Structure 1
Amino acid sequence: MNPISPPRAPRRARKTPMLAACAALAVAASPAQAHTIVGDRVFPATLAIDDPGVNDELTLPTFTYLTAGTTDGSPGTINYGLGWEYSKTITSTLALSVGSEGYQWQQRPNASGWANIETQLKYVMWQDPKAEAIVATAISAEWGNTGSPQSASLPSDPFTTLTFRLYAGKGFGDAPADWMKPFAITGEFDLGLPTRSSNADGSLNPTTISYGATLQYSLLYMNSHVQELPELLRRLIPAFEADFTTPVSNLDQPAPGDFGTNVTTGVVGPSLYYISNYFQLGVMAQVPISAASGAHVGVMASIDFYLDDIAPTTLGKPLFGAPQAHVHY
């Protein structure tokens, strides 16, 4: 295993997952993004995968923590990260975002550095407010050599990776039974394509697919549309999330004593979101699915500021067209 940091993958997670610098965890490869409103449904800015909509939003910071796994069971590298992202709507269905996994540092051995800058253009292809359903697509780029030099501290990739993304979300407010109405699901599928097939040292940069989903139970929705809840509960959305990454082509031969290069890695775990009218707090316990994904449970947390609610007539409105719909609880 690399003595400075665990091996990286083109994506996270998100994308994305050290949670952010450890390629095994796609979840940390792309910072969490804007919340989504479809009809009466608020989809929170989930942590394992991105939500399916566009908004004006600032995510600052996104904190990640994980201990890397090792093949022999010895203590692995302890990884931390502080990321960020800013998302700006161009129209009510199109947004441009810029962000980064941010500042990364680790122990065993000690090292630190900055991750590459990432940009994304996201488009909502279809939505049905009555059905609380939405489908979106995006193209993103992690720009090579925009972080710390690969020879210093925690390496950032020296090549650019393009990722094509597909999102979907569905709330069950139209379900026949009241207990079902607070449920919602979201999903994401990504194809990550490095722009350089190999590096100067002869190592290969694989093509990857990443995929994940969330199952949400919105007490926010229940309080507004089913039955009134105590103040302590009415702004919470508990969820269960999962995110996985699989290298599919251009694979290296694994080094002796290292994990295979075609191994699927990822995390699953519960999460909890607090939704106010102007910001969101989220935290997720990330359980690695294998030793290649991590040594034990990690944590990811973020604060998201809803600029479309904080400054709806200035910074928080689209550059062109009508402003976004707003739902206040």
Structure 2
Amino acid sequence: MRKSLFMAACAVAALGAHGASAHAIVGNRFFPATLTVDDPGVADELSLPTLSSFKTGDDPAARELDVSGEWSKRLTDRLAISFGETWTRVKAPDATAAHGFQNLETTLKYEFLASAEHETILAAGVSYDWGGTGAGQVGAERHSTVTPTVYFGKGAGDLPDALAWARPFAITGLVGYAVPTRDTADGDRIPRVLKYGLAVEYSLPYLAAHVEDLGLPDVINHLTPLVEASFESQVRFAQGRRTTGTVNPGVIWSGRHMQLGAEAIVPINRDSGHGVGFVVQAHWFIDDLMPRSLGRPVW
């Protein structure tokens, strides 16, 4: 049975002096690029397109469609910069619609720890949302926002033999604090926001390659079922200090050069949305597609 994904992953990982390399590989562990909660990997990759559709938390609710893309480029083996943009269409219940781009977002991420033995990655970064670069009619703010963030990933491959069935489990997550570049807008205080999220994954590729090959079809052995949860809590200058967020169950198929993902979007409360939406994504591994050009670190 073909196990090209993890044969390639292990070969790439062996080249990294600190135990991790392209698209979030550490030891035997491959962390797929998650759709909602950014993973801790530093890589040359492209998420294009990401499509999501859901009903907003407004009363009455509007239907929002987001089409987004993000390009991440390694500057060194451990440092990467990414650029993300989203086109949004908001359709009100009376059939009127507004559309336009959100603010441009750039992120600088540095991987400061990778343990192959414990399948652990830690990274830190800072994102900058460029105020005024998007359309106000779809919610793009006029002010900029700076968000320092800590990212983490931990695989369960170091569990004892008695728990070998659980070794394919892994978690990734982040904690960030969004700070606006000014305190007020139109006479109102701009809240500061705590952003946090977690993804729980069960890697069937890991199960087949490093625990036990159950003889499942090859397409199944490339799947990673997962549940993501993403939250935002207003913690300063906020009235009511409300928390919004979603829980996103889904699955990711990972191949040699790309991955495909699909998740449901389930709001945690009425402020977070109405009903169940969805998100789908195509994610491209530029370091494998163009290893001698765009897939290499700049330095």
2:109 corresponds to 1:122 = yes
Match of 1:94 among 66, 79, 89: 79
Displacement of 1:70 in angstroms is 4.1
Q: Which amino acid aligns with 1:266?
A: G
2:174 corresponds to 1:195 = no
Q: CA deviation digits over 1:83-114, x for unaligned, max 9?
A: 111100011110011111x1100111411111
1:47-62 to 2 correspondences below 5 Å: 47-62=35-50
Q: Which amino acid aligns with 1:83?
A: S
Q: CA deviation digits over 1:245-297, x for unaligned, max 9?
A: 0000122x5xxxxxx5x210000131200000000111111110000000111
Match of 1:306 among 279, 285, 288: 285
Q: Distance in 2 between matches of 1:70 and 1:79?
A: 11
Match of 1:293 among 246, 250, 272: 272
2:201 corresponds to 1:216 = yes
SS in 1 for 2:183: coil
1:213–1:242: 8 Å Cα contact kept in structure 2? Answer: yes
- TM-score by length of structure 2 reads 0.88
Q: Which amino acid aligns with 2:128?
A: A
Q: CA deviation digits over 1:126-148, x for unaligned, max 9?
A: 11012110110000100011122
Tell me the equivalent position of 2:100.
Answer: 113
Tell me the equivalent position of 1:236.
Answer: 223
Q: Distance in 2 between matches of 1:47 and 1:297?
A: 16
Report the number of matched residues. Answer: 271
1:149-164 to 2 correspondences below 5 Å: 150=136, 153-164=137-148
Q: Distance in 1 between matches of 2:275 and 2:192?
A: 27
Flag the structure with higher helix content. Answer: 2
SS in 2 for 1:309: helix
- Output the aligned Cα RMSD: 1.3
Q: Which amino acid aligns with 1:295?
A: H
- TM-score by length of structure 1 reads 0.80
Tell me the equivalent position of 1:179.
Answer: 165
SS in 1 for 2:125: strand
2:23–2:44: 8 Å Cα contact kept in structure 1? Answer: no
- Identical-pair percentage: 41
SS in 2 for 1:234: helix
SS in 2 for 1:292: helix
Distance 1:233-1:47 versus aligned 2 partners, 3 A rule: same
SS in 2 for 1:168: strand
Flag the structure with higher strand content. Answer: 2
Match of 1:69 among 40, 46, 57: 57
Q: Distance in 1 between matches of 2:281 and 2:36?
A: 11
Displacement of 1:217 in angstroms is 0.2
Displacement of 1:53 in angstroms is 1.2
Q: Distance in 1 between matches of 2:250 and 2:32?
A: 11
SS in 1 for 2:207: helix
Q: Distance in 2 between matches of 1:94 and 1:198?
A: 34
Following TM superposition, the consecutive aligned residue runs of length 4 or more in structure 1 with deviations greater than 4 angstroms are: none
* Unaligned residue ranges in structure 1 (runs of 5+): 1-33, 254-259, 321-329
Match of 2:152 among 168, 189, 193: 168
Displacement of 1:188 in angstroms is 0.6
2:199–2:228: 8 Å Cα contact kept in structure 1? Answer: yes
1:35–1:51: 8 Å Cα contact kept in structure 2? Answer: no
Q: Distance in 1 between matches of 2:236 and 2:158?
A: 42
Q: Distance in 1 between matches of 2:166 and 2:152?
A: 19
Q: Distance in 1 between matches of 2:100 and 2:58?
A: 22
Q: Distance in 1 between matches of 2:57 and 2:109?
A: 34
